[in-house]
A and B are shown apart, each in its own frame.
Chain A
Amino acid sequence: MTPIEILDPTVEPRRQPLTFVARPDSLKGKRVGLVENTKFNSDRLLHRIGEILINDYGAAECRMWRKHNASVPAHAEILEEAKRTVDVVVAGIGD
């Protein structure tokens, strides 16, 4: 039998460093942004999280944005407004 040499069809994803902003020590007085992903009840869940952050953790206020749909990242307008108007953001993938 003749040995056979085959080529690997896979690739390794490109590695890249990701830098995270330092987390605040406390939420006291912080403005919180909530990013809603359009799935059923995700807004209700985030509203409840916002209430807890204000009542139990002393956050100053909450505001919410809605993505175009669940499968895309938050669009540019959300990111620009969040940078200007809030200190921390809560986002998640709900289904």
Chain B
Amino acid sequence: MTTALASKRHVVADISLAMELCYERGWTDGLPVVPPTEPAVRAMLAAAELEPDHQIAFITNRQVAVTAEKVAINAVMAGCLPEYMPIVVSAVEGIAEPVWGYHGPATSTGGAAVFMIINGPIGPRLGFNCEDNLFGPGWRANATVGRAVRLVMRNVIGTLPGLLDRGTIGNPGKYTYVIAENEAESPWTPLHVERGFAAGESTVTVMSAEGPRQFYNQLSSTPEGILKTLCDDMRHHNSTGGQPQYVVVLAGEHMRTIAAGGWSKSDIRKYVFDNTQVSIAHFKRTERLPGSVTPQDETTYKSLLAEPEDVLVVAAGGRAGAFSCYIPGWAGGRRSSRSVTKLIRERRA
């Protein structure tokens, strides 16, 4: 027997009025949405093999149960194909994990978005972009999966900009912020394997995050040279506050140069950890700490990271161009919000 859908229904004369109704009710992110009809929502649920009343997450501070039905409705609205539904489900499970700490990144003036990294065979199979224009528009999977999660946050959990989402300047990643790791060309262990999953499994890693910071180095032909430039930029981020976790995304040219030097992801993490400290004197000179500079301040340093594992290294981006980037996480301390990697269950058996 098919379980009935519990959601309230709205009837309008045609599809354009349905799209306008979604605007009038405040259900969109500002872009038009696909009207969520029952057949489309049913197809979404079927693809994830979920009953509509299945609880995917419970957001404690909002006392909201996120059901499969509501996730499916918002995934339809975002423009997802049904086969994307298991990824959206896993991402929602991830942001509901206690260590992700939903309340902080969802509401903070700091303006975090939900950054997602897709690993495993599902990335190429569903067409997630991991190459040119990594963060740019044009790929349905990247565009709609992130959008679906944000619509769930908005419509189900009540994370409304200006009310419970108080980001001061916000973040364009709040529309969508999804990449895949380029495992086919990467010389390194994929992120999900480093985090304990099998290479043949697919995962989504969710991290509360600021926008990407691009850096440029066309000069150096050594790992140290490229990473020296990266760390110079990251020291600047340390001096403006720092975050508990970072993602470093290394694109084609930089990836090949660093790999040719024989460096692993672990070597990269250690180098970043060792080379991103900033002196207390610098914090005081730039009005980020109170008080006058003492001689001791010149030789006392603040580390950017608590440990090298707080850097997630991902191989992705275009083959050409001497650019890569780093992505700061969000929060004032390690207990605020930690990235979470969730298995994508395509078949629930």
Q: Is A7 a contact of B9 with CB atoms below 8 Å?
A: yes
Chain A 70-95 interface 0/1 with B at a Cβ cutoff of 8 Å (1 = within): 11100000000000000000000001
Residues of A within 8 A of B77 (CB): 9
Contact among A3, A9, A10, A70 with B11 in the assembled complex (CB-CB below 8 Å): A3
Q: Is A7 a contact of B5 with CB atoms below 8 Å?
A: yes
Q: Is A3 a contact of B13 with CB atoms below 8 Å?
A: yes
Residues of B within 8 A of A95 (CB): 109
**Candidate in A4, A68, A70, A72 with the most chain B CB atoms within 10 angstroms:** A4
CB distance from A66 to the nearest CB of B (A): 11
Cβ-based interface call for A6 (8 A): yes
* A84 to B208 alpha-carbon distance, docked (Å): 36
Residues of A within 8 A of B105 (CB): 71
Which candidate, A11-19, A26-34, A51-59, is the interface stretch facing chain B? A11-19
Residues of A within 8 A of B10 (CB): 5-8
Cβ-based interface call for A42 (8 A): no
Q: Is A8 a contact of B8 with CB atoms below 8 Å?
A: yes
Contact among A7, A13, A69 with B41 in the assembled complex (CB-CB below 8 Å): A7
Contact among B9, B11, B37, B62 with A13 in the assembled complex (CB-CB below 8 Å): B62
Knowing A13-B63, A14-B64, A72-B104 touch, does A4 contact B331 (C-beta < 8 A)? no
Chain B 57-77 interface 0/1 with A at a Cβ cutoff of 8 Å (1 = within): 000001111000110011001
CB distance from B39 to the nearest CB of A (A): 10
Q: Is B38 a contact of A10 with CB atoms below 8 Å?
A: no
Q: Is A9 a contact of B336 with CB atoms below 8 Å?
A: no
Q: Is B103 a contact of A6 with CB atoms below 8 Å?
A: no
Cβ-based interface call for A21 (8 A): no
Residues of A within 8 A of B11 (CB): 3-5
* A4 to B34 alpha-carbon distance, docked (Å): 12
Chain B 1-41 interface 0/1 with A at a Cβ cutoff of 8 Å (1 = within): 00001011111111101100110010100000001111001
Cβ-based interface call for B151 (8 A): yes
Chain A facing B: main interface SS: loop
Cβ-based interface call for B108 (8 A): yes
Knowing A5-B10, A71-B336 touch, does A10 contact B27 (C-beta < 8 A)? yes
CB distance from B108 to the nearest CB of A (A): 6
Q: Is A1 a contact of B13 with CB atoms below 8 Å?
A: yes
Contact among B109, B156, B336 with A69 in the assembled complex (CB-CB below 8 Å): B336
CB distance from A90 to the nearest CB of B (A): 21
Residues of B within 8 A of A13 (CB): 62-64, 158
Chain B 236-258 interface 0/1 with A at a Cβ cutoff of 8 Å (1 = within): 00000000000000000000000
Residues of B within 8 A of A11 (CB): 64-65, 70, 155-156
Q: Is A9 a contact of B27 with CB atoms below 8 Å?
A: yes
Contact among B13, B36, B103 with A72 in the assembled complex (CB-CB below 8 Å): B103
Contact among A2, A7, A38, A68 with B7 in the assembled complex (CB-CB below 8 Å): A7
Q: Is A72 a contact of B18 with CB atoms below 8 Å?
A: no
* A42 to B140 alpha-carbon distance, docked (Å): 46
* A14 to B12 alpha-carbon distance, docked (Å): 29
Residues of A within 8 A of B14 (CB): 1-4
With CB as the reference atom, state the residue of chain A lying closest to B8.
Answer: A8
Q: Is A7 a contact of B37 with CB atoms below 8 Å?
A: yes
Q: Is B9 a contact of A6 with CB atoms below 8 Å?
A: yes
Cβ-based interface call for B161 (8 A): no
Cβ-based interface call for B332 (8 A): yes
Cβ-based interface call for B146 (8 A): no
Residues of A within 8 A of B329 (CB): none
Selected A-B contacts with CB under 8 Å, 20 pairs = A3-B11, A3-B13, A4-B12, A6-B10, A6-B37, A7-B41, A8-B7, A8-B8, A8-B73, A9-B155, A10-B25, A10-B156, A11-B64, A11-B155, A13-B64, A13-B158, A71-B103, A71-B105, A71-B337, A72-B104
**Residue positions of A touching B, CB distance < 8 A:** 1-11, 13-14, 16, 38, 68-72, 95
> What 9 A-B pairs are tightest by C-beta distance, nearest first?
A71-B104, A8-B8, A9-B155, A7-B7, A14-B63, A1-B14, A69-B333, A9-B73, A68-B335
